Chains A and B, each alone.
Chain A
């Protein structure tokens, strides 16, 4: 087994001694492990989302659900930047705009099909992430926030003034997805059940993209890259001292955040079939940041809950007419007062998995290795052990 594992490590001069005892495999069950429980919860959520059109297929419900999914995608991307890598980004909506505009321009001006615009969006967002990130990521915390705020506004104002982006009125008539001559607009009848609305098809596309986004971001957060991001977030110098190139780590977080936002932007462009600079105001950057902070920075389930809260609360409070944003604000204050680390913090442990304080380590050789010679030699004569070590 050791040989098989050796393949996974690069050649290094110094290897750890074998562990003193085998810890055994970590539990994987639904109720005896955190990851198992989250997996089950995620599966239930996906099933619910897939069933939703069969329960209530009204245009309103599906539209709200799709925009909530887009918020989840955006929040997952921002969670990589803010939650994992600890880079406060106040202009995140800029990447959303880049994704929406690039897909809009490629499909309307150049006439590409929507699926072909996906790689173009991804490439554009990677470039945007590098262009904005490379010069600014040398800055720390507050300064970075101000610079990203500026970049967010630059993108919006540029879109407002260019002719190719349609100026203040934006881009209209963005086509929906079509495959081999069949478009979502055409509707479909399967086993006698009619799916008339393109909105419903589009909703399923959104589910798939968001599912990939959520699982992908979660996996990246747990791997080597995610550990590097979290290390940079907790202590940049210590991370550098551990052999992590902090600059590369930060820019990779930034690029991944940009790509996630770009894909969300493309989802929105097709969902609404029209985009304008007004959809990319600072308010939306703040809302998504709020979703991340409210849910719990760096926590996948928390951020999803936060995004759902931010996108659905104003809709659910529609009955209160103009009072709804006041109530929304009060709700936010109350949540932050009672859950300052977020609704589902990254450090949260499921209540039934909590253990008490661990018992102090037993008194062993390692904790109390005080050979008598050490006491004798405290006054300056190097102990016998030192000389033995020298001979070795």
Chain B
């Protein structure tokens, strides 16, 4: 089975703080992977590196055979021009490019376009897929009308897919929180991803909404989209994920099926705490890449 996303020895340092410290994992096509860890473990930082928002200190991220982390020649490092060049888009891959390659993401705290309607929010995500340019927009050519019509149809398709049932012409700020979460997922799907990164999708949702989210994520997987999610809700993670990567202090401490992770003493010590009724199996070693073995 080929890996869709390969993260190898990813490191991200802010001054002396090692936010991500040697993280390696793989995501395969069409699987649901959860990344868990205590607060401040570096989960979101790792996500930001993978989606090219942050430039990692070292390591490599390969998505669908394309390298996301680029190296600048050492001459620029010596001249101290690396940051300037990278701010102009040299020696780096822009997040928008990564999205075009087929990796979509959502944000931890909702980041919808507040002054756009629900429909326009989803349409915006189709930016790169639309055959529409300056002149066709200015002259309102038949091609423009066709593109707008196709765009609206796709956007409505996604809104229906995620189960949004409100008024599509409302501004997103007028929606209840749970609906805004749905719109954000619809927006991410509208970029037509192969891999969807969800950063705490269940944060702030009530029990029913969490159940609906779970069935939505499974529905997304049936489209052939791999899903990686960061989540604190253990019930949801254990229920949904096929494989779990556990981070602590920027380091990966376990990688395996929910069973393996649950019974891993290192994980229990770092994260779940010792539970009386759920004794760790005596002698259980931290399982690395156990998920792959289990799958094959």
Contacts and interface: CB of A to CB of B under 8 A. Distances in A.
B211 to A, nearest CB: 4
B189 A243 contact: no
A382 B235 CA distance: 10
A202 to B, nearest CB: 25
A370 interface: yes
B239 interface: yes
A243 B100 contact: yes
A21 B156 CA distance: 9
Max chain B Cβ within 10 angstroms of own Cβ: one of A9, A361, A362: A9
Nearest to B103: A241
Given A9-B131, A234-B113, A370-B208, A382 B239 contact: yes
A358 B131 contact: no
B214 A374 contact: yes
Contacts of B198: none
B104 interface: yes
Contacts of B130: 8-10, 224
A385 B215 CA distance: 9
A361 B168 CA distance: 12
A19 B156 contact: yes
A347 interface: yes
A219 B137 contact: yes
A390 B97 CA distance: 30
Interface in B84-136: 87-89, 94-97, 99-100, 102, 104-105, 107, 111-116, 120, 123-132, 134
Contact of B88 (A12, A17, A138, A227): A138
Nearest to B89: A247
A18 B148 CA distance: 16
A239 interface: yes
Given A245-B96, A369-B211, 14 more contacts: A8-B151, A10-B130, A233-B115, A235-B114, A237-B53, A238-B112, A240-B96, A243-B99, A244-B96, A246-B96, A361-B179, A366-B162, A367-B163, A386-B240
5 A-B pairs with least C-beta separation: A366-B163, A16-B157, A361-B165, A223-B137, A243-B99
Interface of B: 32, 51, 53, 87-89, 94-97, 99-100, 102, 104-105, 107, 111-116, 120, 123-132, 134, 137-138, 140, 143-144, 146-151, 153-163, 165-167, 170-171, 174, 179, 187, 189-194, 208, 211-212, 214-216, 218, 221-225, 235, 238-240, 242, 258-259, 262
